[in-house]
């Protein structure tokens, strides 16, 4: 059991990681980029079911600021932008795979809780 003297959890890499990946959208965006590779904005928006364009822009900017996603604009008409995972982003694969594996193992529980 923890004692009051224990180091605050906020200083730990676990909690800092949760701050970076907060919310369900970032995991879903990383999952999509891992699964489908580099994607244009429109493709990402379609793949991350339920997300709005505004929210996707916001989440991608945050992921970019943390070095998890890179944005590559092309000088086409109309302009196109592609998003990829960085090496740091790719290193999140074990987290995404663990969530996926748990979801598959608990399909029945998840379906019952709908």
Phi, psi at 104, each rounded to 5°: -70, -40
Work out how close the CB of 83 gets to a copy of itself at its nearest, in angstroms, rounded to a whole number. Answer: 12
x/- site string to a copy of itself, residues 68 to 87, per CB under 8 A?
--------------------
Question: Would you give the end-to-end CA distance of the chain in angstroms?
Answer: 33
Q: Which residues pair with 90 in a beta bridge?
A: none
Whole-number Å distance between alpha carbons of 95 and 28:
12
Give dist(CA 40, CA 10) in Å, integer: 35
Residue 13 or 73 having the CB closest to a copy of itself: 13
Binding to a copy of itself (CB under 8 A) within 22-61 occurs at 22-24, 27-28, 31-32, 36-37, 39-40, 43, 46-50
Least Å from the CB of residue 54 to a copy of itself: 19
């Amino acid at each position: 059991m923890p004692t009051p003297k224990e180091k605050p959890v906020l200083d730990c890499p676990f909690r800092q990681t949760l701050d970076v990946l907060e919310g369900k959208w970032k995991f879903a965006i990383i999952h999509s980029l891992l699964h489908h590779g580099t994607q244009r904005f429109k493709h990402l928006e379609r793949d991350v079911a339920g997300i709005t364009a505004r929210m996707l822009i916001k989440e991608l900017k945050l992921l970019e600021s943390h070095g998890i996603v890179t944005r590559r604009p092309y000088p086409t008409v109309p302009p196109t932008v592609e998003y990829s995972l960085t090496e740091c982003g790719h290193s999140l694969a074990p987290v995404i795979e663990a969530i996926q594996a748990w979801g598959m193992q608990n399909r029945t529980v998840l379906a019952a809780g709908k």
